[in-house]
Amino acid sequence: MQSTSGYFQLGELRVARVEESCQAAFPPEVMFPDLSVEALQRQLGWLAPNYYDPQAGLLVASIHSWVVRTRHHTILIDTCGGNDKERPAFPALHQLDLPWLDRLAAVGVAPEQVDFVMCTHLHLDHVGWNTRLRDGRWVPTFPNAKYLFSRDEYDSWNGMPVGSRAVNDGVIEDSVLPVIEAGQSQFVENGYTLDDMLTVEATPGHTAGHVMIRGNGGAGVTGLFTGDIMHNPVQVPYPDINSGFCQDPAQARAVRRRVLNEAAEHNHLLLPAHFGPPHVGRVRRDGEAFAFIPG
Ligand SMILES: [Zn+2]
């Protein structure tokens, strides 16, 4: 789907994926504690090998950003784990040294050219490149960007004492507060729209203030940047299966079903944050659940 330029068209929007990592990483029972071995086995015919590695017995997880270009602006949706971050509670993202900025440059975007950064939520794998280490200090990676944060999301993390945020401990301090202190943040509410083409929509459940970004390409072409509403396509046939990282299980299920229903009804493209290749897809109704159509 991605051309040699790295971009594909979503109506009038140009979209590119910038990868930080993609590997067989998660034991299914860790990612989806409620997914039985039998239920997983029933789907292996299409999950392997892009979404599940049967040799390793691990789910494939990509961590990537989406670059979206409107007529006027260059926007980054989610910023992966970032380099040099102290994440002892989550070794896969601890002290990374990965060429994510080079991959951003490969799709023609220098840090100075990013106009807006949008984070679907403030988990460690969605805010890392918000900042980088310069002379021992965390500074915004994108010096000319406005960073749009969900107000509800920020308030919920801000209300939790340091030391009580499990794998997200230290994340607000090194990847969000330096942006606010630099005067580059803007808090947004449900319905906030950028360039008439990207709309922030409240989709709480995975986290308290999680949002998805609706990309309106015009002429009925819509893409949904769904963040962590789903982590792996196995949740399409099993929409009630939450990740072990979802904060409000009932709300996460309800939101997932609502988004899948809409995507199936209108043939929207899903652009999640962690699906393995080809990283995007559509869905159709299949009885009480849904079927995934990659690409
Ligand atoms: Zn995530």
Query: What residue spans define the domains of the chain?
Result: 7-294
CATH class in words for 7-294: alpha beta
How far away, in angstroms, is 227 Cα from ligand 1 center? 7
Query: What is the distance in A from the centroid of ligand 1 to the CA of 272?
Result: 9
CA of 115 to the centre of ligand 1 (A): 23
28 CA distance to ligand 1 middle (Å): 15
Q: How do the pLDDT tens digits run along the chain, 295 residues long?
A: 556 689 999 999 999 999 999 999 999 999 999 999 999 999 999 999 999 999 999 999 999 999 999 999 999 999 999 999 999 999 999 999 999 999 999 999 999 999 999 999 999 999 999 999 999 999 999 999 999 999 999 999 998 887 888 889 999 999 999 999 999 999 999 999 999 999 999 999 999 999 999 999 999 999 999 999 999 999 999 999 999 999 999 999 999 999 999 999 999 999 999 999 999 999 999 999 999 999 9
> What is the 128 CA–ligand 1 centroid distance (Å)?
11
User: Which pLDDT value is given to residue 5?
Assistant: 80
pTM of the model: 0.97
Distance 14 CA to ligand 1 centre (A): 23
CA of 127 to the centre of ligand 1 (A): 10
For residue 285, how far is its CA from the centre of ligand 1 (angstroms)?
25
Cα 245 to middle of ligand 1, angstroms: 9
Q: Report the pLDDT value the prediction gives residue 159, as an integer from 0 to 100.
A: 86
pLDDT at 208: 96
For residue range 49-61, list pLDDT tens digits in order: 999 999 999 999 9
Q: What is the pLDDT of residues 110-124, one digit of tens each?
A: 999 999 999 999 999
DSSP secondary structure string for all residues of the chain? ---TTSEEEETTEEEEEEEEEEEEEE-HHHH-TT--HHHHHHHHHHHTTTTEETTTTEEEEEEEEEEEE-SS-EEEE---S-SS---TTSGGGTT----HHHHHHHTT--GGG--EEE-S--SHHHHGGGEEEETTEEEESSTTPEEEEEHHHHHHHHTSPTT-SGGGTTHHHHHTHHHHHTT-EEEE-TT-EETTTEEEEE--SSSTT-EEEEEEEETTEEEEEEETS-SSGGGTT-TTPPPTT-SSHHHHHHHHHHHHHHHHHHTPEEEESS--TT--EEEEEETTEEEEEE-
Cα-to-centroid distance, 60 and ligand 1 (Å): 13
What's the 219 CA to ligand 1 centre distance in angstroms? 30
Could you tell me the distance, in angstroms and rounded to a whole number, from the CA of residue 93 to the centre of ligand 1? 12
Ligand 1 centroid from CA 124, angstroms: 8
The predicted pLDDT at position 50 comes to: 98
